[in-house]
Structure 1
């Protein structure tokens, strides 16, 4: 036992937070509320089975993008006039999957290479909100209308932040966006410097077939554990949070309610995929759709892990602009969706 604890302390054994949370919840239920254990597990498994077709689509899209090199197309967006780049960066950010290295080193690579801050900000804001995998799972949990609206919101917030940054970019505070010592983005940087051609029929290449399988397995494990945790939390939420309480507190699309959801989305957001069934459950209990939209959009861009990464990468004025554009965009999105939904 002491050896295992020593390995954990030294980092030799990595504890997965999603798996640890699932195990902790199940143990707590078994000890504190054993009558809720089997119903909660049954609820989570039933919802996982129901969403399986959408999960398969999202996994397939992620694996295909990785194996074919389709994510290299991102590199071609950041060339040309700044105004055109902003529009294209917001569009690509709203519909493209992330590369495996993550968006932070990709942004570092773009800024290090001298790409204007305005299109980078547009891509930076739009990317966390939506991608093909997220679209498929959003449609499966919250409906096609919600998924389309969230995609439009990603594009709109990208434009809002990109053109807003273009208006501010002449100020001295934004002259040097990166903190001192930030490198060129590693493997993400190499994609920008020398993008490779896309191999759409990747299955003819054994190495790409292997990459497809590897990415599919990794994505399955990632999505599976987070969705399982989310559905387990949803089961507890339905069991212990009265629907009338949710409807009373979050049932209005008013400015204050949407603002509260926007601000709460920053610390409370767990994971883009895990948040979907939780919001679905809250809407089912009476939460207004505009409030749910504001929570998802704000949390996706400015969750604490994402904010910490941005803060470590960018100088303070750029970080504050990023957060400001994200929160303002989420608030506007929630209010507009609440009026039209």
Structure 2
């Protein structure tokens, strides 16, 4: 009697199917993106409200921005997911550990801009950097730039408010991350790390890095997985952010917005930072709000200060960092970054 054996290994799709699938998905994405305006106008007309009313404006804003942001987010996350296959946390740590400290700050900020690490990765990255012997200030430059000036936020900012604002945000965000990291590094704050972090052994950086040879199809799979994971987590915040933006766009009078967030009110910048810190959202959620604020005439500096504070000084991320930082170090970190954000807001409101 012979026993039949069955191969239970799942069959892998051929490479050509992956390449073709990406091309087809890209064509569908482009077709959807270029028809958003007629779709939003058609959908808004289905509601029993006047198109030029407050409610009509809010509905049109919401229906147009929801698919727009989700389409942009999907494309950006996919591309950055593919890039992430070349910039793993281990490789990033190895690159930073091998540089002189003075060059480490801008390099760390640049890597934070290029690599799509979300705020939930802050704690393991921080531990890994410290255990590799990377200076604390250099680590802070990376952690500031990562969530505040990451590729997802920049891509959405470019798609929604234009390349000029996105470029300005990139330059000032990069500068804040570099300068704040340098200042924190000069302050010699290692003694304010949690005891268990300071006691970590500092092994040689990159000595245990796996030699992974990924094919292009493997990288495409990583991009698809990133879309499934990240978009699946943040879509609800996209809806919340766009909902707030739609309410601002449709109902908040321009005169009121100019009084609160206009360049003439000196207190508008610190008020925007104070309001932004406790908000629990991310780039995908806050950028539609920024779009609506700018559309209502809010000052650019105040609006950018609000956006930076929401992303870089969010309360939930601060709570997570409490696992590795003492309260004193967290307070110093928040003060230095907030000072940079305030300076950015005041400079823009003064010169523009």
**How much does 1:287 deviate?**
0.9
1:202 counterpart residue number? 216
Give the Å deviation of 1:166.
2.6
Displacement after TM superposition at 1:323 (Å): 0.4
Q: Which moved more, 1:148-157 or 1:230-239?
A: 230-239
| 2:340 corresponding residue in structure 1 | 329
Instruction: Encode CA deviations 1:58-79: one digit per residue, 9 max, x unaligned.
Output: 1222321344555554221232
Stretch deviating more after TM superposition (219-228 or 190-199): 190-199
SS at match of 1:127: helix
Query: How far apart, CA to CA, are the structure 2 residues paired with 1:275 and 1:114?
Result: 35
Greater Cα offset, 87-96 or 317-326: 87-96
C-alpha separation in 1, matches of 2:292 and 2:113? 25
Match 2:73 to one of 43, 46, 55: 55
Q: Deviations over 1:277-304 (max 9, x none)?
A: 1111011112101001111112211111
Distance in 2 between the 1:50 and 1:201 partners?
A: 31
Aligned CA RMSD, in angstroms, stands at 3.1
> Does residue 179 of the first structure (1) align with residue 194 of the second (2)?
yes
Give the C-alpha shift of residue 220 in structure 1.
3.0
- Which of 286, 292, 296 is equivalent to 2:307? 296
Q: How many residues align?
A: 298
Match of 2:165 among 146, 153, 172: 146
1:61–1:132 contact (8 Å) kept in structure 2:
no
Q: CA deviation at 1:151?
A: 1.3
> Is residue 89–residue 125 contact of structure 2 (8 Å, CA) maintained in 1?
no
CA change 1:88–1:68 in 2 (3 A) is closer
TM-score, normalised to structure 2, is: 0.74
Asked whether 1:65 is paired with 2:76, we answer no
SS of equivalent to 2:267: helix
Cα 1:231–1:151, aligned 2, differ >3 Å: closer, same or farther? same
The whole-number CA distance in structure 2 between the counterparts of 1:266 and 1:281 is 19
Shift of 1:305: 0.4
Shift, 1:139, TM fit: 0.7
Unaligned runs of 5+ in 2: 1-47
TM-score (norm 1): 0.76
Q: More helix per residue: 1 or 2? A: 1
Alpha carbons of 1:284 and 1:198: their partners in 2 closer, same or farther (altered >3 Å)? farther
Distance 1:141 1:190, change over 3 A: farther
Residues 73 and 184 of structure 1: CA distance in aligned 2, closer, same or farther (over 3 Å): farther
Deviates more, 1:234-243 or 1:124-133: 234-243
Task: Give 1:133's aligned residue.
Answer: 152
Partner residue of 1:248?
Answer: 259
Correspondences of 1:246-285 after superposition (within 5 Å)? 246-252=257-263, 255-285=266-296
Q: Distance in 2 between matches of 1:267 and 1:161?
A: 21
CA distance change for structure 1 residues 154 and 228 in 2, over 3 Å: closer, same or farther? same
Deviation at 1:45, TM superposition (A): 2.6
- Supply the distance in 1 between the matched residues of 2:59 and 2:199 (Cα, whole angstroms): 45
Q: Please, which runs of 5 or more residues in structure 1 have no aligned partner? A: 1-33
| Match of residue 168 from structure 1 | 187
How far apart in 2 are the matches of 1:94 and 1:244?
36
Contact 1:110–1:120 (CA<8 Å) still a contact in 2? yes
How far did 1:223 drift? 4.2
